[in-house]
Amino acid sequence: MNGTLLFITILYTVVTVIGVGVYFVIIASTKKGKAEGGANAPIEKLERAEPMWAVFALVVVTVLFVATLGGVPWNNRAKADSTVDVKALQFAFVVQPATVKAGNVDFKVTSADVSHGFGLFDPDGKMVSQIQAVPGVTSTLSTKLEKAGRYKILCFEYCGVNHAQMIGQIEVTK
Amino acid sequence: MTTSHVLPAGTLPYDDSPRLDPATVARTESLVKRYWWTSTLFLLIAGLLGLVLRSYQAGLDDLPGNQTDAANLWYALMTAHGLGAFVAWAAFFLMGTLLWLLMRLGFPLRTYVFAEISYWAMVIGTLGIVVSTVFLGFAASWVALYPLPFHSAGQWTDTATFIFSFSVLLAGVSIIAWCVALIISVTGPAISGEQKTGWFGRLGLALGFGLMWPSRFKSDRETPYPIIPITVIGINMFFMTLPFALLLVLMIVQTIDSGFTTDPELAKNLLWAFGHPVVYLLLFPVVAALYYFIPRYAKRPLVFGKVVVLAWTIGMLANMFLWAHHMYMDYPDGSNQSFLNMTHEPITYLITLPSALSLFGLGATIYRSNFEWSPGSMFMVAGIIGWLSAGFQGVINATIQFNVAVHNTLWIVGHFHHMALLAMGMVIFGVFYAAAPTLLRRELHSQTMAKIHFWGMLIGGYGWVVCWLGQGLDGAPRRYDRLPDGFGWDIWTKLSIPFMLILAVAILVGIYNIWRTATGSPWRVKDPATAV
Ligand SMILES: [Cu+2]
Ligand SMILES: [Cu+2]
């Protein structure tokens, strides 16, 4: 699991436990509600809280938007130490050069036929990054490759019958 | 049994539906039942395909032919399963259900023509999809992935692409005809009563503007909250089905004239302009159903203010400009797509507003109420929790930085099964349990079976979905007939199988219960809403 995926796992688990926990409290409260005939619920208070809740939701997504701007791939490119051309086609990746030195590597990805996906996995099998390979045009994926070894390229967009067998590779040296 | 004017226990609790004309009720009910039974049949077929797909991934079953034939059949079944489960079952069931809800709320169909067109277009379209995929091998997935339909690697012909495109177009016609039926119904005289209001004024009332600006939007009757999401989805799908319909027409032209091609990125934008809103073709009707039933179970009106009305208007507008969040990983050098992606991220965040406020208001309505717990309400509350927990995944997917890590992984597959089955599907079954006694005039066949259905779906469903989520977080890509060795991904697939079987048995028990209920002996009593 790479860093972003680990972060997502933790974030999602925490937020979901809180949210579902609140709903369990609501469900449990109906036991008391039944005993009281539903007479003692703080309805006006909850109704007044609606605008505050809307503001809270907006603040959360705004914070999320600003905090993750730095992770938008096309806005954040380091100067490349080397460049690799990748041509995807049904059902293979043509990678040139086949070996590259560790560092900031730009992949220039294109497709000769249909849409493919360029999904890069490090020698430990962890996902590094991905980009769509669009037919007829070039797309640039900037990566920082630190580990030496054999990286695998998995096709990350369904492209036909042998999509699952479409695996390429690139060698990274120190 | 004697004739009485009050329905027995088990019917819709605390119904305050307006007095209805018995002929209208009878006609709407027979139409809605047709939607219900046909869509349930499609669920059986689509569910069976799903079982075959996941078992094949786990290496438990084989498909006929050599490895290539088997793989193409797998992808063809995947194409059929997606459209079948999502559109031909869930959307179709809810489309029918909304016609019933509208009637109960005092907005019966003003013409049955569009509802009939919608029904038949969906049935014929679904059959065409089955023919083109299962029998003719069309396997480009439901999103078509243009230009893949025309690069089949020898697996299917242009004829298959033609039949597929035409059939999906029919499903689009079905959706648009249904939207027209909805809009005609909610903008009828019932929305404003004796007040003189123009068509746009009545549309405003249907969007709940009368709750915000009562002096500007006048009516004798407060707009019932469920009418708001119904109107929103009617407007949204009327417009957002059109771009996909255009793409399908372009594909049909290409099957006839192979020199005629479309730009792949344009095609993808056209597809997703429909592909995101169509999720709300399930969610918004589900929300309408919750707005209708939850206050009846809680025995009090919905705890809502005015902000929720505003949130729905924002949601309706946002829904038409957020599709590029499915294309975050498309940013070719020098193209404008990255700009579009960047603008659609905050717009996508905005659409969390109607969800956030609905989850708040529904929770507030249930809180410390004298809530009636029954199969219907249990399924619905479980659906609300599913909506909440799957909704958070949606926010993660909508965030570009996170999307890099999860795009096209099995996390996404986990997300939409979670949303479609454990949120919206739960509410669909809840609607059945809540509405069946009233609609079918029969008592539920078995409470025990309903409980087995509930707990089986909950335990099986969450176990099954968590395996996909975990697999995706481990980096496993989606749409692989079989995952490659050496990544340790197969363990998740195998783990999911027992949960999937529990889920399948639970749903079968549920459908059997529904069928036995429908074929049981009817009550010889009148619905209070129609009794004069
Ligand atoms: Cu591929
Ligand atoms: Cu979307």
Q: Six-digit token pair at B33?
A: 């039942």
Judge contact between B389 and A19, C-beta under 8 A.
yes
Judge: B482–A2 Cβ closer than 8 Å, yes or no.
no
Q: Report yes or no for ipTM above 0.85.
A: yes
Judge: A30–B331 Cβ closer than 8 Å, yes or no.
no
Ligand 2 center to residue B182 CA distance, Å? 24
Q: In one letter, which amino acid is B292?
A: Y
| Dihedral angle computed from the Cα positions of residues A140, A144, A150 and A152, in that order, rounded to the nearest 10 degrees | -40
CA distances to B55, B99, B100, B443 from B104, rounded to whole Å, are 43, 9, 6, 19
The tens-digit pLDDT sequence of chain B (532 residues) is 333 334 454 555 555 667 788 888 899 999 999 999 999 999 999 999 999 999 999 999 889 999 999 999 999 999 999 999 999 999 999 999 999 999 999 899 999 999 999 999 999 999 999 999 999 999 999 999 999 999 999 999 999 999 999 999 999 999 999 999 999 999 999 899 888 899 999 999 999 999 999 999 999 888 999 999 999 999 999 999 999 999 999 999 999 999 999 999 999 999 999 999 999 999 999 999 999 999 999 988 999 989 999 999 999 999 999 999 999 999 999 999 999 999 999 999 999 999 999 999 999 999 999 999 999 999 999 999 999 999 999 999 999 999 999 999 999 999 999 999 999 999 999 999 998 888 888 888 999 999 999 999 999 999 999 999 999 999 999 999 999 999 999 999 999 999 999 999 999 999 999 999 999 887 765 665 554 3
Ligand 1 center to residue B82 CA distance, Å? 19
Q: Around Cβ B111, how many Cβ atoms within 10 Å?
A: 11
In whole angstroms, give the CA distance from residue B294 to residue B311: 20
Torsions phi, psi for B168 (to 5 deg)? -65, -35
Q: How far is CA A2 from the centre of its chain?
A: 10
Judge: B475–A126 Cβ closer than 8 Å, yes or no.
yes
What would the pLDDT profile of A10-62 be if each residue is shown by its tens digit? 999 999 999 999 999 999 999 999 999 988 889 999 999 999 999 999 999 99
Judge: B371–A90 Cβ closer than 8 Å, yes or no.
no
Judge: A47–B487 Cβ closer than 8 Å, yes or no.
no
* Chain A residues closer than 8 Å to B392 by CB: 12, 15-16, 19
**Whether B485 contacts chain A with CB within 8 A:** no
Q: Where are the alpha helices (DSSP H) in B323-374?
A: 337-350, 352-366
Judge: B333–A36 Cβ closer than 8 Å, yes or no.
no
Relative to beta strand A149-155, strand A116-121 is antiparallel
Surrounding ion ligand 1 within 5 Å at CB are A 116, 155, 159, 163, 166
Contacts (Cβ under 8 Å, ≥6 apart) of B525: B1, B3, B4, B5, B6, B7, B8, B441
What would the pLDDT profile of A162-171 be if each residue is shown by its tens digit? 999 999 999 9
Q: Nearest residue of B to residue A66 by CA position?
A: B346
**3-class DSSP state for residue A81?**
coil
Q: What size, in residues, is chain B? A: 532
Q: What is the pLDDT of residue B14?
A: 57
Distance from CA of A100 to the nearest CA of B (A): 22
pTM for the predicted model, two decimal places: 0.95
Query: For residue B152, what is the DSSP state?
Result: -
Q: What is the pLDDT of residue A163?
A: 97
Orientation angle between helical segments A3-35 and B375-398, nearest 10 degrees:
150
Q: What is the pLDDT of residue B529?
A: 58
Residues B362, B364, B366: CA angle, nearest 5 degrees: 70
Mean pLDDT, chain B, whole residue set: 93
Distance from CA of A11 to the nearest CA of B (A): 9
Pairs across A and B, CB distance < 8 A: 247
Distance from CA of B45 to the nearest CA of A (A): 23
Distance from CA of A85 to the nearest CA of B (A): 14
Q: Around Cβ B196, how many Cβ atoms within 10 Å?
A: 7
In whole angstroms, give the CA distance from residue B5 to residue B530: 9
Mean pLDDT, chain A, whole residue set: 95
- Categorize the per-residue pLDDT at A77 as very low, low, confident or very high, splitting at 50, 70 and 90: confident
Ligand minimally distant from the alpha carbon of residue A115: 1
Ligand minimally distant from the alpha carbon of residue A119: 1
